[in-house]
Amino acid sequence: MAAVILQRYRERRLLRRNRIFRDRTHPFDVFDDDVIFAKFRFRRQEILAITDDISVDILLSKRMGSLTPLLRVLITLRYFASGSFQDVCGELIGVDQSTVSRTVTRVTDVLLRQVPNHVRLPNGKKQDAIKTKFYDMSGFPNVVGCIDGTQVQIQAPTQNEHEFVNRKGYHSINVQVR
């Protein structure tokens, strides 16, 4: 009886896959400050500050091979900055799409809980000054801030053509939505 149990145990061990530990490249070690800003849309110091603020909340486990809080923040920022697919974002750091999905969800939830600590609308005289500035700039009444913006592609104008080329190299107008 014991020999049968031992044989089954050995057979199961042979069927079990060994864990694979990937060599993850750390963007802070590989890229300079300009490339980090281009890839993540934040400066190195800002990324470290964000990580310090939320590291306790995003540290899920102390398993060997798990992602550090800094790598979790970098994966999330890369996903937000690129607007690309999760598997493409994961390739930069060497993680699978499912890991990117779980990481982005977790870090986003933590960041959203931090919004009231960092984002506040102005009030009183400051709010009135901002409203006046927006109105003087563009004729929008009662605007305190912009929520989002996008580039709308246009035909190249004949005058001041160079002023309408965006960072991606095509002609556009920046449209802001409130």
pLDDT for 23 equals: 64
Give whole-number Cα distances, 171 to 58, 150, 155, 174, in Å.
Answer: 40, 13, 7, 10
pLDDT for 52 equals: 94
pLDDT for 178 equals: 52
- pTM for the structure as a whole: 0.65
Give whole-number Cα distances, 161 to 149, 156, 165, 170, 175, in Å.
Answer: 21, 6, 7, 11, 18
- CB 178, CB 160: distance < 8 Å: no
Low-confidence ranges of the chain (pLDDT < 70): 13-23, 60-65, 176-178
CA dist., res. 6 & res. 154, Å (int):
73
pLDDT for 47 equals: 96
